Amino acid sequence: MKVRCLLIAAAAAALAACGGSPSTNGSQASTPTPAPTPQTVSVAETEFAFNPATLNLKAGDYVFQLQDAGKAPHDLHIVDSNNQAVAGTTAVLQAGQSSTFNATLKAGTYTMFCAVDGHRARGMQGTITVS
């Protein structure tokens, strides 16, 4: 009886040393792939201009950081080439304020603009090209 108990204990120790308990289905759990970290894009607005006014980006997830560097209130809207789907927007910011929003951009051309009354008509828009 003592010999049998010793053999069982030795087998258990050997199993533990070789990687732990056996898998019930023969496969090991895989580690999930972490989501890519969104890239940050900074845009400053002044009276009737964006800086930068043209962006060339790769398709993916972005955090847009908007800074109202002007004296008037401004906001930021991003729409697709059909002027239909809004990729992102901010609230109206007062001079000196900043805001962020997340956007997932697919390949295509987007327009960014300020929707405060009359600003877009005065040239406050830019282009985002995503490849």
Cα–Cα nearest to 90, from 24, 45, 34: 45
- Residue 25 — very low, low, confident or very high, per pLDDT cuts 50/70/90? low
| pTM listed for this prediction | 0.71
**pLDDT tens across 55-99, in order?**
999 999 999 999 999 999 999 999 998 887 788 899 999 999 999
Query: Would you say residue 118 has pLDDT above 50?
Result: yes
Kindly list the distances between the CA atom of residue 88 and the CA atoms of 71, 100, 112, in Å, as whole numbers in the listed order. Answer: 23, 10, 9
Question: CB within 8 A of 82, min separation 6: which ones?
Answer: none
Give 103 or 28, the one with higher predicted confidence: 103
* Range of lowest pLDDT (1-15, 80-94, 98-112): 1-15
Tell me yes or no: is domain 39-130 CATH 3.40.50.720: no
Tell me the domain boundaries of the chain.
Answer: 39-130
pLDDT for residue 13: 52
Question: Looking at residue 103, what is its pLDDT?
Answer: 93
Bigger pLDDT: 75 vs 30: 75
Mean pLDDT of all residues belonging to the chain:
84
Phi, psi of 6 (to 5 degrees): -65, -40
- Report pLDDT for 15: 46
